[in-house]
Amino acid sequence: MPVECKNYINGQWAETASGRTYENRNPANPDELIAIHQKSNAEDVDRAMTAARAAQRKWALMPAPKRGELMFRVGHILTRRKEAIARDMTREMGKVLAETRGDVQEAIDMAFYAAGEGRRCFGQTVPAEMPDKFAMSIRAPIGVISAITPWNFPIAIPSWKSLPAIVVGNAVVIKPATLTPLSVIHFAEVFEEAGLPPGVFNVVTGSGAEIGDEMVTHKEVNLISFTGSTEIGTGISVTAAKHMKRVCLEMGGKNAIMVMDDAKLELALEGALWGGFGTTGQRCTATSRVIIQKNVAQEFTDRFVAAARKLKLGDGLDLSVQVGPAVSEGQLETVHSYVEIGKAEGAELLTGGRRYTVPGCEKGCFYEPTVFFNVKRNMRIAREEIFGPVVSIIVVDDLDEAIDICNDTDYGLSGAIYTQDVNKAFVAMREVHTGIFYVNAPTIGAEIQLPFGGTKGTGNGHREAGTAALDVFCEWKSVYVDFSGKLQRAQIDDFEQ
């Protein structure tokens, strides 16, 4: 039986004011109805934002170490519920169980990391330029955070936004992706069990078309944290600027692995398979380009194609399955449209390029792992984000050309190089213009203790995860304490004598 889910507002599970609901179905088998969710409207958002504002004022007064202790409880509860949440995530999103377990683990890691930051929200003490004066900086919460999250990491990305924001004293209203709200409903259940005060974390489900504008423009919102497409993120940035709202954007990527002729080909092959087809290519950090030196291009390509053809597709709850479905019929159609574009542009389709309809998968949104060869840098499949199991192989003469093509994109999220030459590795680390870079590893696999984000069209300069997240969700306050008992004028009075 499907689960009937409600919004979570001010510590209460509530039906939407619209009275409408929508269905959430399994992309591996659309006949399976997983859950029924609230189709929220502006009134629901207003209730959630109003509750968040009232709760945040009290929450910010709780000592930060105590807020951190609650994050520890969140981490322990997530650990206990990990398997159940992961299985539901596979059913609602499609990626294989090993990956959804990793998705939940990322939230667990973030909970424990954020918990520690409750005692490490460091400021600075600095020398004052006048006698009998003390100078320091402290972190202060921003207020109410509007979080808009994508479908590909249904609990990891909500945890990146919510946990650091909450531990430093903010309140959160989150709108999960329409396709994957159940994971965030589970996240709210975890917060509720942990004892988070009502109103500090609120969930409204529904479509961006109906409540997205209210999530950005509501008078109580202080910062919008968005992960999703560049098109929508750009629109949010424009709208938010008109309302003087802060924005943290994490958007697209067109990531590349560079394979040098001295690389360990077996290692590079494994990395390209995982980077290109893990999560069915539905990651902003997915390896959608392999840029390879010509001396090893043919051998690598032959082995890569053979390995891609052996990948097992199917329902992600089957532990033998390596590649799950696309998240929806619409996403599958988008992927296929890019395959047709690649063929029309003259790229050589070596494998895949079709819907996967073997018995057991015929009803689902499955797409064959797809490899293009002889791709040129100016082709759309080499420049635009596809967000599916499609990898383009680009042949180059040397490292300089590889780096030039790697950077020749509107995005700058993740990059990688496979080489046994430390000099090449360090040149690439310096010259590739991305926010994340890997040596002898694929473009996916970030860890929460380092900043996550990119350059150029990937975002607006902010970072998630690590201590960098605190700078997103805090603002600095400089404090001066003058105990001289007299007026002292900085930059004016002379205290040399």
5 given a catalytic annotation? no
Q: Which residues contact 415 (CB under 8 A, 6 or more apart)?
A: 255, 256, 257, 258, 406, 428, 432, 434, 436, 437, 438, 443
Predicted confidence band at 430 (pLDDT cuts at 50, 70, 90)? very high
User: Residues 357-380: pLDDT tens digits?
Assistant: 999 999 999 999 999 999 999 999
Write out the H or E segment, with its range, that includes residue 411.
Answer: strand 411-412
User: In a 3-state reduction of DSSP, which class is residue 391?
Assistant: strand
Joined together, the tokens standing for residue 317 give 């709850």
Contact 215, 45 (CB under 8 A): yes
Q: Which residues contact 486 (CB under 8 A, 6 or more apart)?
A: none
User: Residues 289-346: pLDDT tens digits?
Assistant: 999 999 999 999 999 999 999 999 999 999 999 999 999 999 999 999 999 999 999 9
Ordered domains of the chain (ranges, CATH): 3-251+459-479 (3.40.605.10), 255-439 (3.40.309.10)
User: Rounded mean pLDDT of the chain?
Assistant: 97
Global confidence as pTM: 0.95
Q: Please identify which of the residues 121, 248, 284, 361 carries the catalytic annotation.
A: 284
Spell out a b/e string for 294-327, using b for 16 or more CB atoms within 10 Å of the CB, else e. Answer: eebbeebbebbbebbeeeebbbbbeeebbbbbbb
User: Residues 90-101: pLDDT tens digits?
Assistant: 999 999 999 999
More confident residue, 494 or 169: 169
268 burial (CB, 10 Å; 0-12 / 13-18 / 19+) is buried
Place of tokens 């093509």: 405
Residues of the chain above pLDDT 90, percent: 98
The rounded distance, in Å, linking the Cα atoms of 30 and 7 is 24
> pLDDT at residue 496 above 90?
no
231 burial (CB, 10 Å; 0-12 / 13-18 / 19+) is exposed
More confident residue, 495 or 136: 136
pLDDT computed for residue 229 by the predictor: 93
Predicted confidence band at 110 (pLDDT cuts at 50, 70, 90)? very high
> pLDDT at residue 497 above 70?
no
User: Residues 261-276: pLDDT tens digits?
Assistant: 999 999 999 999 999 9
Q: How far is CA 252 from CA 144, 180, 316, 419, in A?
A: 25, 19, 25, 26
pLDDT computed for residue 238 by the predictor: 96
pLDDT computed for residue 495 by the predictor: 76
At 358, the amino acid letter reads V
Q: Strand (E) positions, 163-320?
A: 171-175, 201-203, 223-227, 246-250, 255-259, 287-293
Q: Mean per-residue pLDDT for 31-55?
A: 97
Q: Mean per-residue pLDDT for 141-167?
A: 98
Joined together, the tokens standing for residue 406 give 């790697």
Q: Strand (E) positions, 95-203?
A: 124-126, 133-141, 144-148, 171-175, 201-203
Counting Cα atoms < 13 Å in the Cβ hemisphere of 74 gives 36
The rounded distance, in Å, linking the Cα atoms of 220 and 206 is 20
> pLDDT at residue 242 above 80?
yes
Residues of the chain above pLDDT 70, percent: 100
Nearest Cα residue to 151 out of 174, 179, 175, 173: 179
By residue count, the chain amounts to 497
User: Residues 441-464: pLDDT tens digits?
Assistant: 999 999 999 999 999 999 999 999
Q: Which alpha helices (H) appear in 243-349, and where do they start and end?
A: 265-277, 294-310, 329-345
Q: Please identify which of the residues 214, 250, 368, 464 carries the catalytic annotation.
A: 250
Q: Mean per-residue pLDDT for 26-30?
A: 96
pLDDT computed for residue 241 by the predictor: 95
Nearest Cα residue to 249 out of 232, 271, 273, 225: 225
| φ and ψ at residue 192, rounded to 5 degrees | -60, -45
